[in-house]
Structure 1
Amino acid sequence: MQFGVFTVGDVTTDPTNGREPSEAERIKAMVAIAVKAEEVGLDVFATGEHHNPPFVPSSPTTMLGFIAARTSRLLLSTATTLITTNDPVKIAEDYAMLQHLADGRVDLMMGRGNTGPVYPWFGQDIRNGIPLAINNYDLLRRLWREDVVDWQGKFRTPLQSFTSTPRPLDGIPPFVWHGSIRSPEIAEQAAYYGDGFFANHIFWPKEHTQRMVGLYRQRFAHYGHGSADQAIVGLGGQVFMRKNSQEAVREFRPYFDNAPVYGHGPSLEEFTEQTPLTVGSPQQVIDRTLTFREYVGDYQRQLFLLDHAGLPLKTVLEQLDILGEEVIPVLRKEFDALRPAHVPEAPTHASLIAERDTAPAPADGAATSGAGAISEAGSDR
């Protein structure tokens, strides 16, 4: 089981003192959080990708490359990489370069983002969101797996005898998660390729997450990648901890009430009851997180959102200390004890190399065009 943190990189005024960090301060705070995550024993740091205020992480590979030089063990990921508005050729090259620099400590999460105007900013139409996600990812996979690519599609100019450089490290592309909050087509896409599926798991009740993960598991098995319980699942989560729940609620409430994402809506109590947000003691976070397995099954990655809504860096680093010292060791032990032997762990560069080197050769004609197959998959659902 992998545990880590993800950031959306928002620049938000601290509601308790009216102070707003500069962009430079926020960027450097994200680096400090990643370094601290490795220090306290977490496995993963993931950054979002946004191209509009109040967010700063517009260049994930730049940030992750810098963090790679400051860490030695931490797995570097995204949450998310915009597969709809980034050129697949640039994604292929940028993340292969990062993979080399980080000695394989890289995977990434494909997504469509949560900002509608980003589509025209990058020359696309939001009405093509799902087709873009399907077609662009089909091309990306080919760029990473074929030395020379001839390709023609709807949303970019054709490629003729094109080779993406550098080639993936050791001939192994970064592992891909497909992130989605509400789109079954993305669960279908992840299942078709046998990739990971990451459910954001922050804004919706558990029943919604259960349905999305259930669909992905069913289709993963349908496409012959293994049994449904062997599908690769990741969950987001959000926590705020202090020694006791009263202290945690008192300190976190002004940040929640004024958060740009979910402030000025349901109360903190309503939100913690209806979603996986946990505000309380370390034991409460442990108990709540362990319940996730009850409705999504055994899963491979748990990421927590800690740094948002104007929380100062000092507070976030304190949260990481609590997470690393009191929460993750218990969760790791409990989840590992519960996971059956046939359920795989989260893929890493080393495990993907081992899988390749022991796998039988594929039968001729075993694969079909990804974009076409996924677009037709709804007919047998």
Structure 2
Amino acid sequence: MRWCSRCVLPDTRPGIVLDDAGVCTACRTHAARPQVDWGDRARRFAALCDEVRGSGPGYDVLIPVSGGKDSHWQVLTCLEHGLRPLCVTWRPPGRTALGRRNLENLIALGVDHMDVSIAPDVERRFTLAAMERFGTPGLPMHMAIFNIPLNLAVRLSIPLVVWGENSATEYGSEDGRHMGVRLTSGWLERYGVMHGTTAADWVGERGLTARELTPYTGPEPDALEASGVRAVFLGWFFPWDPQRMRDVAQAHGFTPREGGAATGLYDYADVDDAFISVHHWLKWYKFGFTRTFDNLSLEIRIGRITRGDAVTSIRQRGDDTPRADIAAMSEFLGISTARFYDMAERFRNPDVWQWDGERWWIPDFLVPQWEWT
């Protein structure tokens, strides 16, 4: 493993490449932000809103939402531009009470809303199959949150879909692709956390049928415009800062999590789903870092902390395995926690980890004298 000389991300993170100076693509991309004409991009979004406003039979824009701080900011931005939104949520099987309250608060901002639930047995089998094949229990979640909104936009003739940040822009791209304004098939394949699969690739796994996988089956993103739908990233038009989103959301009734973050650094992110921490934690086995490293790296780029501060924070936090959430997900999947850990172990990356006869450890780890458990 090699670590970025500016932030605390390793080159094992998918999409990250270190240049000759040891700086990662995410840091290089973020450093170029001051050169972006954000005023021009804001005017482009206003022009797009003028174009779609009133052009559909009912709604001007469809906004995929979870109820989190980003969702609040997306909705408020669209409302401020005079758009009539339909908000759509894939209901996570591990929805938290806080997530439900925040979603209700978002709806109270003045929007129509659909909460889409998938049959629990289908989600259970699909999630278990994704964990077995890729060690990625969040794969069905991502397949649902991308395809359900796009299907509805096409069927209801909604001319615009507004997503949040573009992760290709946030973390960089070695060839510059997928960093534009539109969600494309190539972006989904690279950044959609679906391992390049579609719903059709899961037919037969744990008895799943094509009919059961209907909620996960969507239109081809590259063909959307032919049907009159444009899907764009709001983060292309406006600079993305999680604390700025938090401040705007809180001013309109959003509530962070009491007692600290469920996963990573922020107590105002990943608050709606008790299982999301498990999805993030598996990066530890696969790539040798966790959600905390992502969050701290962003704080370094924004300039709120130094790299030394971040390393100290990681050392102080120590092991952050979400044991309670792993137990809850295991119960949902109908398996023991021992079996879950056995499955996770299958995806421990031998190019990152070494076994010394008693324990696994990572050579040249970012934090010296880390306590390996």
The interval holding the TM-score normalised by the smaller chain is under 0.3
TM-score normalized by the length of structure 2: 0.26
Larger strand fraction of residues: 1
TM-score normalized by the length of structure 1: 0.26
Say which structure, 1 or 2, has more relative contact order (CA 8 Å, 6+ apart). Answer: 2
